[in-house]
A = this chain, B = another copy of it.
Amino acid sequence: MANTLFVRPETLTPDPFHYCPGCGHGIIHRLVAEVIDELGVRETTIGVASVGCSVLAYKYFNFDMQQAAHGRAPAVATGIKRVLPDRVVFTYQGDGDLASIGLAEIVHAAARGEKITVIFVNNANYGMTGGQMAPTTLPGQKTTTSPAGRSVDQAGYPIRVSEMLATLDGPAYIARVSIHNPPQIFKAKKAIRKAFETQLRGTGFTLVEVLSSCPTNWGMKPAEAFSWLEKNMLPYFPLGEYKAASGVSQDD
């Protein structure tokens, strides 16, 4: 161990990911697994996979998992956490899942201060179903259901989930991070760790929004996709901590 700089986290099963080449989901899975490893809570963690490209997350994480209906992961996690309040419970959700069909569930879990952690992967489209518009799709962005580019007049504006949830009293920790380059990946991991630590302290609802890429549906090479993310998504979705309850320092 002392001799190893980088190994596969114990919390990941050996199964290879089914994600497309260069997809951000793989990086984010690994970060979550590393944090669970570091906190030593693998055996007391229950994850909830949502419907989206990461629907098979239950295959990749090496702990108990439930697979939830589209958008309902926060409700499923609530059911689990209420029965097992001393376990670590988290959901892993895409932007279609969380911000579109599942919006009521995420807001209410947050408002209730449900003591769970939400890993929210914002890749500005519906990856799994082939690149349709998401609530996070940027104005002008082309998708298969906004073929002329998202028209704010017809399809409205993207939702800033972190800012929106930060208006509530239930959340203890909310941050938006990105994985478009190595320093950001480091920061993303820190935020994920903080969220889980906050859950362990039982102070409230925690969520980390991770800006990610979908090279396949964006029609870009993976590295290009990260540049696009940086250039286009960051201005609309500013990074930072939107909520950190007492006991959780802002940007430590």
- Partner of A104 from the list B101, B158, B164, B168 (CB cut-off 8 Å) is B101
- Partner of A164 from the list B100, B152, B167 (CB cut-off 8 Å) is B167
Given contacts A103-B104, A164-B164, whether A111 and B159 have CB atoms under 8 Å apart is yes
Contact A135 B156 (CB under 8 A): no
* B-chain residues with CB within 8 Å of residue A168 when the two chains form the complex: 157, 159-160, 164
* B-chain residues with CB within 8 Å of residue A135 when the two chains form the complex: 108, 111
Query: How many residues of chain A get a CB closer than 8 Å to chain B's CBs?
Result: 27
Q: Which of A216-243 contact B (CB under 8 A)?
A: none
Q: Which of A158-195 contact B (CB under 8 A)?
A: 158-160, 163-164, 166-170
Q: Does A107 have its Cβ within 8 Å of any Cβ on chain B?
A: yes
Q: Bound state CA distance, A101 and B103, in angstroms?
A: 11
Number of identical monomers bound together in the oligomeric complex: 2
Q: Which of A56-104 contact B (CB under 8 A)?
A: 100-104
Contact A107 B159 (CB under 8 A): yes
Q: Does A155 have its Cβ within 8 Å of any Cβ on chain B?
A: yes
Question: Majority SS of interface residues in chain A?
Answer: loop
Q: Bound state CA distance, A37 and B114, in angstroms?
A: 46
Q: Does A29 have its Cβ within 8 Å of any Cβ on chain B?
A: no
Q: Does A112 have its Cβ within 8 Å of any Cβ on chain B?
A: yes
* B-chain residues with CB within 8 Å of residue A160 when the two chains form the complex: 167-168
Contact A111 B170 (CB under 8 A): no
Q: Does A113 have its Cβ within 8 Å of any Cβ on chain B?
A: yes
Q: How close is A176's CB to chain B, nearest CB, in angstroms? A: 13
Q: How close is A154's CB to chain B, nearest CB, in angstroms? A: 8
Closest B residue, CB atoms, query A236: B169
Contact B170 A167 (CB under 8 A): no
Q: Which of A1-49 contact B (CB under 8 A)?
A: none
Q: 11 A-B contacts, Cβ less than 8 Å apart?
A: A100-B108, A101-B104, A104-B104, A107-B107, A108-B135, A111-B157, A111-B158, A157-B168, A157-B169, A160-B167, A163-B167
Q: List residues of A whose CB falls within 8 A of some B CB.
A: 100-104, 107-108, 111-114, 135, 152-153, 155-160, 163-164, 166-170
